[in-house]
Amino acid sequence: MGIIRDNPILWREGVPAPLRNSTLRGQAIIAGVFAAVYIGGNLLLMNLKADDISILLPVVLSIWALVTLLIVPSHTARAIAQERVQGTWDAVVLTCLSPAEIIFGKLFSALLPMWGIGLLLLPTCLVCAAKGVLFDADPEMQLSLLVFVYGAAVVASISVASVGIFFSLVCSSFLAALLWTYLVLLAYLSIPVSIIIFFGLYEVLGLWGLWIVMVVCAGAGAVVLLFNVFGFNFLERRKRG
């Protein structure tokens, strides 16, 4: 946890309080209990019938992706705007942290819990994909689809989180930041999907069409993220008038 601990924002907001405040012995106990529950759950899942797994796991992955896309932007949209409302933002800006460290601390404190859930699901998904029972597709396509699902989730989560951070910087209130975040996300996620569906490109492009959507999402998110970092001081000065 050294890298996480070096960034106080990431350590305070991205790590659960029981794990953050406990002693080394307490952390070991928490890890042991968690490992026992995790291994038991995976063994139970792997003993299910192939038909049940092919129905259950894709649903779980879909819920995880949906929750990530809904919760992460709301968390990042609140990250800075709420600190302004509470009067604690000046203290954060005046710390020894650089703008990049502040932005990335706020960004990854929202992403770490969701990525953690995805990593917990990954071993089971890999085993099921290797057996050819994860998706309703040809066995040789299973691992490719799994890589696509995880790649899309990581790229999309960084992208939507960056949009939330941007509006949290420029808006005075949490509600305004949240509203603008979801409006923009709805626009730039739905436009490429609508184009592919409207022109019937999915039949031609197949999974490549979905990759195009992911690349558009990644590109937009990367631009916003870079603007967050390099335009930090400009945004702060404009905000203060």
Residue reference for tokens 């759950």:
41
Rounded Cα distance between 36 and 75, Å, is 30
Please tell me whether residue 50 adopts helix, strand or coil conformation: helix
The token duo for 234 is 């400009």
- Band of the pLDDT at 235, cuts 50, 70, 90? low
Over the chain, what is the mean pLDDT? Answer: 70
pTM listed for this prediction: 0.69
Rounded Cα distance between 133 and 140, Å, is 11
Listed as own residue / partner, the contacts of 225-228 with beta carbons closer than 8 Å and 24 or more positions apart are 225/103, 225/107, 225/158, 225/162, 225/165, 227/166, 228/103, 228/162, 228/165, 228/166, 228/169
Phi–psi pair at 186, nearest 5 degrees? -60, -40
Phi–psi pair at 93, nearest 5 degrees? -65, -35
pLDDT in tens, 146-200: 777 777 777 778 888 888 888 888 887 888 888 888 888 887 767 766 766 666 6
Per-residue model confidence (pLDDT) at position 78: 83
Q: Domain map of the chain by residue range?
A: 50-240
- Band of the pLDDT at 2, cuts 50, 70, 90? very low
Handedness of CA 125, 131, 135, 137 (dihedral sign): positive
Q: What percent of the chain has pLDDT over 70?
A: 54
Residue reference for tokens 């951070």:
165
Rounded Cα distance between 139 and 177, Å, is 44
